[in-house]
Structure formats: structure tokens, C-alpha cells
Amino acid sequence: MTTPAPTPGASTIDPVAADSLQNALAAEHAALWCYALAVAFLPASQDDQARSDAEAHRVLRGAVEQTLTQIGARPVSALPAYATPTPVTDGPSAAALVLVAETDAMAAWRSVMERTTDRGLRKAALDALTDGTLRCARWRVVVGSPPAIPVFPGRP
């Protein structure tokens, strides 16, 4: 996985791009919270995939926090808890939750890509969107929500 890394002159990332990166960080925090909840309900056959996906978000979150710090911005903190769109009570509702988390994260990364002219940051956002699309596709299949890959990943 390619992670956001500042490019030469990254300290000149404009405020709009920095704000969108903060939003992506907030989505990563939320995704990690969702995965932590979901693994308590997912069947053993999906546990390894969920833990692997959560680790991908953890690595990405760390890279974003580092990038924001390097450009002189204070990274947003995770909330203590998040509201789920529906109660999580079993494996199917847990899989639906991580699907929502992946979809939200993809939208945030698409926003970063659209709101920056920094090549390194655009590439990192595209990589995050691409990786997220693959994770989301797996969960869309589990949930039974076709198509596995939407026409425009990250689009609301």
C-alpha cells in the first residue's frame, strides 16, 4: 500500500487540500472504530479479512497523521465513539457496517484527490482510493450488494 508522504515543498499544501486530508483522517479514525466493533460480530471465516483491512486503515491513518504533522497541521483526533447507521447485532449487520466505513473512506480519499494539486498527495489519495475499492468490493460481495465495484468508486 502506498501511503501519503510529503513531497518536496509539501509544506505549501494549500488549506483546502489540508482540510480534505483532515477529513480523510477523520474517515480513517471512523473506519478503524467500525472494524473494532465489527470483528466482535463477524464469523470466524471473515475475521482474518476484517483484521487485515483494519490494519490497512491503521497504516494509512498513521501516514496521514505524519503528513499533517510535517506540513504543520495538527491532525484531528478520533472521536470516542461513532453512530452506526443501523444496530450491529450479528455478522451480516457487522459486514454492512464495514461496507459503510469503506464507502465513507473512499469518498474522503476521492475528495483529497479532487482538492489538491500536489502530485505526491494526489498519487497517495488515488492509491488509498484504489485499495479501498478492493476492500469495499470484498465486503459488497459478503453483504450481497451488487455491483461489487461501483462505476465511480468514492462517489456518493
The tens digit of pLDDT for each residue in 88-145 reads 999 999 999 999 999 999 999 999 999 999 999 999 999 999 999 999 999 999 999 8
Q: How many CB atoms lie within 10 A of CB 133?
A: 18
Distance CA 111, CA 132 (A): 14
Question: How does residue 6 score in pLDDT terms, banded at 50, 70 and 90?
Answer: very low
Question: How does residue 4 score in pLDDT terms, banded at 50, 70 and 90?
Answer: low
Go through 93-129 and write b for each residue having 16 or more CB atoms within 10 A of its CB, e for each that does not.
bbbbbbbbbbbbbbbbbbbbbebbebebbbebbebbb
CATH of domain 14-143: 1.20.1260.10
Within 8 A by CB and 6+ apart from 58, the residues are: 32
Domain ranges of the chain: 14-143
Which pLDDT value is given to residue 148?
Answer: 79
Q: Measure Cα distances from 137 to 45, 65, 93, 156 in Å.
A: 17, 26, 16, 15
Which pLDDT value is given to residue 109?
Answer: 97
The tens digit of pLDDT for each residue in 13-53 reads 889 999 999 999 999 999 999 999 999 999 999 999 999 99
More confident call, 58 vs 8:
58
pLDDT(3) > 50:
no
